[in-house]
Amino acid sequence: MKYILSKTNNPYFNLAAEEYIINNLNEDLFYVYVNKPSVIIGKNQDPINETNIEYLKDNNILLVRRISGGGAVYQDLGNVNYSFVLKGKAKDIYKFEEYSRPIVNFLKNKLHLNAEFGGRNDISINDKKISGIAQFVSNNNLIFHGTLIFNVDFSNVNKILTPNYDKILSKGVKSIQKRVGNIYDELLQKITKEEFIGLLIDNISDDKEYKFTVEQLKEINKIAKIKEDKIKFLLENRNEYKYKKSEYISGFGTIQIYFNLEAGKIIQFEIFGEYFSKHNTDDIKNKFIGKLYDQNIIRDIVYSIDDFENYFYNLNRDKLISLIMM
């Protein structure tokens, strides 16, 4: 498997490159990149609900949406991101533990760390989360990607992220800082981030580097600009909702239901959350617009959704109905 090591710390470019790779390149690749200070949110998340937007603006922290589900993460130059882009492996979506093994084995066997997979999508060392994992499929291809928290400054993370505290407390801790840890702190023999990246690439790839062409870089930059413009548009054109329901569901994640009514009908409807989904849930949201806010009608809509599991992984239909009916 060839590798790509990004030459930039621009998170818009780095995440755009993932999209380009999965949709345009015809070989398996291992992609590694480091972002400047940024908050990376999952594809289904409401940025207003996940982060302190004003703090981000005041401190030059970028906000970027990735193509996969899952939760929001804060990154700085001490975090290392990795992506396995695998052709023809879309059927393996949600096999988090299986696809995390190369990373777990690298941490255990090469760095002699007490690493293990746990929870829904985490890798931990001595009960401290050092990696969050997500997946995305497109054109029968799979991206399996995650963070490796090497030496991140978490001193202000509670000012940056605004997580669901039911989730935090369910992990037996009282704050994000208590739950996460740095790989560097666990190393008996200290190495630099650059040395860590070199060891990671050597362990996963066959030492052959894939380099983007000038034309490919132009296409990636176009995708990056679209990503940046979309998040700005979302922040500047946000609806206000009268009816809101938020809940953390073990094994599924957080979910927020927002909607407005007029004359008993749903006129605006949103589903946000850190849940995983194979399909685009925008298709689902539109089913509710213009419909009467009625238990039987809502039930009929939810039960008419084909392939429900791939819109809301690990959520049952009746639970979604109860959330909407509040």
Question: Structurally, how many domains does the chain consist of?
Answer: 2
Same domain, 92 and 219: yes
Identify the domain boundary among 192, 211, 235: 235
Q: What is the pLDDT of residue 164?
A: 62
In the chain, what percentage of residues exceed pLDDT 70? 95
26 and 149 housed in the same domain = yes
CATH number of the CATH domain containing 149: 3.30.930.10
Domain final position from 166, 201, 235: 235
Q: Quick count: other Cβ atoms within 10 Å of Cβ 196?
A: 19
- Residue 169 pLDDT > 90: no
The pLDDT, as a whole number, for residue 52 is 95
Of the two residues 126 and 173, the one the predictor is more confident about is 126
pLDDT of residue 206: 85
Identify the burial level of 123 via C-beta atoms within 10 angstroms of its C-beta, where 0-12 means exposed, 13-18 middle and 19 or more buried: buried
- CATH code of residue 255: 3.30.390.50
pLDDT of residue 172: 46
Same domain flag for 207 and 307: no
Q: Which whole number is the average pLDDT over 8-13?
A: 99
Residue of 142, 107, 136, 111 whose CA lies nearest to 124: 107
Based on the domain organization, do 276 and 183 belong to the same domain?
A: no
**Together in a domain, 129 and 86:** yes
Give the mean pLDDT of 62-90: 97
Please indicate, yes or no, whether residues 185 and 76 belong to a single structural domain of this protein: yes
Residue 168 pLDDT: 44
Which pLDDT value is given to residue 174?
Answer: 45
Q: Give the pLDDT score at 283.
A: 84
pLDDT attached to residue 16: 99
pLDDT at position 176 is 54
Beta-carbon-side half-sphere exposure of residue 312 (alpha carbons within 13 Å): 25
One domain, residues 50 and 132: yes
Same-domain status, 153 and 257: no
Instruction: Output the pLDDT for position 163.
Output: 73
The pLDDT score that the predictor gives to residue 178 is 61
Over the stretch 140-159, which tens digit does the pLDDT of each residue have?
A: 999 999 999 999 999 999 99
Query: 317 and 203 share a domain?
Result: no
295 & 153 share domain: no
Q: pTM here?
A: 0.91
Residue range 80-98: average pLDDT? 95
Are 20 and 125 in the same domain? Answer: yes
Asked if 214 and 304 sit in the same domain, the reply is no
| Domain residue limits at 107 | 2-235
Last residue of a domain, one of 178, 204, 235: 235
